[in-house]
Amino acid sequence: MAKKFEFGCLATAIGSMPQTDAREVASLVLKYLPFIPHWTQLPRLSPLENMYIQFSEGFPGAVREGDKIYIVRGRDFDEELGQFYMDYEKNSLANYSISAEYAAGLHELLSTKLPEAKMVKGQITGPVTWGLMVTDREQRGVIYDDVLGEIVAKFLKLKASWQERALREVCADTIIFVDEPYLSSLGTAFVALPDEKRVVNLLEEVFDGISGLKGIHCCGGADWSLILKTSINILSFDAYNYAESLSLYLGEVKAFLTRGGTIAWGIVPNDEGTLGKESISSLRDRLEEAMAPFTRGGIRFRQLIGQGLLTPSCGLVNLSSEASAQALELLAGLSDQLRKKYLK
């Protein structure tokens, strides 16, 4: 792992928000997350902003119908496929931009001054999740198609590269999270995922397009040993609900931290009923409880704080606008309290 940055429990967020006004939500993000602002996905604004459609522009044969995206081998498919491979070989990004129509929050952030930002964060749907959820007309995930499955990760690599290049126009240092909720299904009977070797290869293809800090976000339990052995710099997980799942991989976590990795602790819940019962104090207690198995296993608490980020447990789109602001306020307050207590 070539890159190391001690975040010291600075705060950022996962992606989705419930608001429909990109300028309003950008102001909210800058108020509470000034040091690592993220661009917001706004699926309530438009179906184009859901995490599958949002990154589909330019994929050969992509056809959208309402809130669904299909890949269709039409009469222009072979020509589009050939163009894609030419672009991929030349690392030509022009045809793989993310337009304002599909990502209003991204383009709002790109037009915003970020006076306090140390880094700026973006995100992209990962190849496993995208390949399972984007289907052909027979509802078969494109990841299972011999031709389409081959290009999913290559396509998302170009998308990630374009996004990172765009974000560097507003801040020199970037983080890109690859969002992979379906990795929590790896090894279960519920979803027929590719074998582990292919999963890693798909992920690494996308990571290869990210030259700054790169992370995986998975909001369930997962085979963390597999994920921690990839080239990621940041592991983002739901520490509010699944802290125990990561503590089962103590040796792998130690090795990850030793080589400079960061754990993003998703400690602020994204369920409105649960959120309303929490405070900065209760969340600090819960975070320290989540970290306790690691300190008992020989990892210094100061290292966990120093090599930690704080986030919500997942996206906040299912909250009300008021509750999403409360979540960010709690997140920022917890970050400030921990940094003052342990790092100054």
CATH number, residue 160: 3.20.20.210
Contact by Cβ (8 Å): 290, 265: yes
Q: What is the pLDDT of residues 6-28, one digit of tens each?
A: 999 999 999 999 999 999 999 99
Treating both helix axes as pointing N-terminal to C-terminal, what angle do 321-342 and 280-296 enclose, rounded to 10 degrees? 50
Q: What is the pLDDT of residues 47-62, one digit of tens each?
A: 999 999 999 999 999 9
Q: What percent of the chain has pLDDT over 90?
A: 89
What are 71's strand-pairing partners? 62
On whether residue 2 sits in a domain, the answer given is no
Better-scored residue on pLDDT, 283 or 196: 283
Average of per-residue pLDDT values in the chain: 94
d(CA 42, CA 142): 25
d(CA 196, CA 36): 32
On whether residue 133 sits in a domain, the answer given is yes
Model confidence band, residue 190 (pLDDT cutoffs 50, 70, 90): low
d(CA 100, CA 169): 16
Number of residues that make up the chain: 344
Global pTM? Answer: 0.96
The structural domain count of the chain equals: 1
Between 192-196, 264-268, 308-312, the lowest mean confidence (pLDDT) is in 192-196
On whether residue 297 sits in a domain, the answer given is yes
Model confidence band, residue 187 (pLDDT cutoffs 50, 70, 90): low
**Coil, strand or helix: which one is 65?**
strand
Mean pLDDT along residues 139-154: 93
On whether residue 5 sits in a domain, the answer given is no
| DSSP string covering 119-159 | -EEEEEE-HHHHHHHSB-TTS-BGGGSTTHHHHHHHHHHHH
Q: Which residues of 180-325 form beta strands (DSSP E)? A: 213-218, 234-237, 262-268, 308-312
Q: What is the pLDDT of residue 102?
A: 98
Nearest to 64 by CA among 128, 134, 126: 134
Mean pLDDT along residues 267-296: 97
Q: What is the pLDDT of residue 67?
A: 87
d(CA 112, CA 150): 37
Nearest to 93 by CA among 2, 210, 212: 210
d(CA 159, CA 57): 9
Model confidence band, residue 217 (pLDDT cutoffs 50, 70, 90): very high
Tell me which DSSP letter residue 163 carries.
H
On whether residue 4 sits in a domain, the answer given is no
On whether residue 3 sits in a domain, the answer given is no
Q: What is the pLDDT of residues 85-125, one digit of tens each?
A: 999 999 999 999 999 999 999 999 999 999 999 999 999 99
On whether residue 150 sits in a domain, the answer given is yes
Kind plus residue range of the DSSP H or E element containing 324: helix 321-342
What are 11's strand-pairing partners? 310
Q: Over 50: is that where the pLDDT of 2 sits? A: no
Q: Over 60: is that where the pLDDT of 177 sits? A: yes
d(CA 251, CA 319): 36
Q: Over 50: is that where the pLDDT of 258 sits? A: yes
Determine the structural domain holding residue 271 and report its residue range: 10-342
Two structure tokens written together for 294? 């690691």
d(CA 71, CA 60): 7
Mean pLDDT along residues 316-339: 98
Mean pLDDT along residues 185-208: 81
On whether residue 101 sits in a domain, the answer given is yes
d(CA 32, CA 328): 6
**Coil, strand or helix: which one is 290?**
helix
Instruction: Enumerate residues 6+ apart whose C-beta is below 8 A from 68.
Output: none
d(CA 62, CA 70): 6
Q: What is the pLDDT of residue 196?
A: 84
**Coil, strand or helix: which one is 237?**
strand
Q: What is the pLDDT of residue 195?
A: 78
